[in-house]
Amino acid sequence: MNQTFLMVESMLKLSKLVPLLTAVSITALLAMVLVVRIGHAEPKPIDALAAGRINYSTLRDATSGHATIDGRYQEHVLAVANTIPARLQPALKGTDFINGCHPWSTKQLGDCAYGTYDPEGWDHDDTHGHQWANSIWISSQAVRAGTASDVVLHEVGHAVVHNLFSDCYFPQQAETSVKNLLMQSFAHPQADPAELLADAFVIAFNTHSRDLHTHYFDDFNFEASKEVILKIRAAVWLCSK
């Protein structure tokens, strides 16, 4: 059960452990998070999402012969997308949700990834700029396995990190972006910290509490502390304003 994000490199890329975020600024942010209850914000429909927006035949042609667009569960994928918490939605402006197997991920993995976030429109031949740029792909296998909501949150986590955290800074820590600071909390000798961070979004923003689908946490026996989960919520609150 693989999940892929195109903006990060190999899962074997090493990262060095560095100190955690400054206590004073984070404490202040967490206090505000607890007051506004970010993690429990009522979901609102994403205006851009509508059934039938995706032109399946055109996308099939555009993916260079890969029959990667499924579409059987497109309505289900869109319904799940419309449960995404409101606080995360600023990262999803213009994002298409597609039921299918992303062409680049499929080529790289030799299998259909459960989910892929693709901000650049990558094809199987390593070309980019295709019409599915800024898209999240959810496989039919993920839907049938009952994990679509968690896979969506994982991929949305990638979108939030890419679109909101890269140019956002915690108070008193303007020298390092929120993205880089949070990556430090997920440093691992084998796992890609970007994938671990995306899994943490499933924990931070899920609407159920049992049998969470956190593929990278499970594969690498990784756990995120409550403090780190609160930092993610605080970062979303800060960077989505």
Write down the pLDDT at residue 54.
59
Query: At residue 165, does pLDDT exceed 70?
Result: yes
237 touches 38 (CB < 8 A): yes
Query: At residue 173, does pLDDT exceed 50?
Result: yes
Backbone angles phi, psi at 130, to 5 degrees: -80, 170
- The conformational region for residue 202 under phi > 0 = left, psi -120 to 50 = alpha, else beta, is alpha
**Tokens coding 178:** 């929120």
Domains of the chain by residue range: 3-37+53-239
**Tokens coding 239:** 């960077």
For the chain, the 3-state helix, strand and coil shares in percent, each to the nearest 5, are 45, 10, 45
User: pLDDT tens across 102-115, in order?
Assistant: 989 888 888 899 99
Provide the pLDDT confidence category of residue 72 given band limits of 50, 70 and 90: confident
Write down the pLDDT at residue 53.
58
Q: Which of 33, 39, 36, 27 is nearest to 171 (CA)?
A: 27
Question: How many angstroms separate the CA atoms of 75 and 78, rounded?
Answer: 5
- Encoded amino acid at 201, one letter: F
Residue spans of alpha helices (H) in 63-162: 74-81, 103-109, 140-144, 148-160
User: pLDDT tens across 181-195, in order?
Assistant: 999 999 898 888 999
User: pLDDT tens across 90-102, in order?
Assistant: 999 999 999 999 9
Average pLDDT of the chain to the nearest whole number: 78
Structure-model confidence comparison of residues 10 and 75, the more confident one? 75
Query: At residue 63, does pLDDT exceed 70?
Result: no
* Percent over 90 (pLDDT), the chain: 46
